[in-house]
């Protein structure tokens, strides 16, 4: 699927408006999440957050709404982590 797919463009714009640092993209026929993730607990101290692509294993377009829910859930968890409310 091209990145200019109207549904993906709308959903990514909505995620951005909600303040989620997560976007959706498609690789092959599967939906991926893209987000800047905090360092893992096993990473050396001082490690910077880095952008990662996370495979959902969900088919596009059949399971795209489930992927959107995952993106919102991840975005909420990242925001709580940024505010210091919870460890990630």
Q: What is the pTM of this model?
A: 0.87
Beta bridge partners of 25: 32
Could you say which DSSP state residue 82 is in?
H
Which residue ranges make up each domain of the chain? 6-82
Phi, psi of 74 (to 5 degrees): -65, -40
CB 35 within 8 A of CB 52: yes
Q: What pLDDT tens digit does each residue of the chain (88 aa) get?
A: 445 789 999 999 999 999 999 999 999 999 999 999 999 889 999 999 999 999 999 999 999 999 999 999 999 999 998 888 866 6
Determine the straight-line distance between the first and last CA of the chain, rounded to whole angstroms.
31
Give the C-alpha separation, 54 to 10, whole Å.
20
């Amino acid at each position: 699927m091209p990145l200019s797919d109207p549904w993906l463009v709308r959903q990514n714009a909505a995620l951005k408006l909600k303040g989620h640092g997560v976007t959706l993209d498609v690789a092959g026929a599967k939906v991926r999440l893209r987000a800047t993730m905090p360092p893992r607990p096993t990473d050396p101290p001082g490690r910077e957050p880095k952008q990662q692509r996370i495979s959902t294993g969900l088919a596009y377009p059949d399971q795209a709404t489930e992927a959107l829910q995952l993106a919102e859930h991840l975005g909420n968890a990242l925001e709580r982590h940024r505010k210091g409310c919870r460890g990630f």
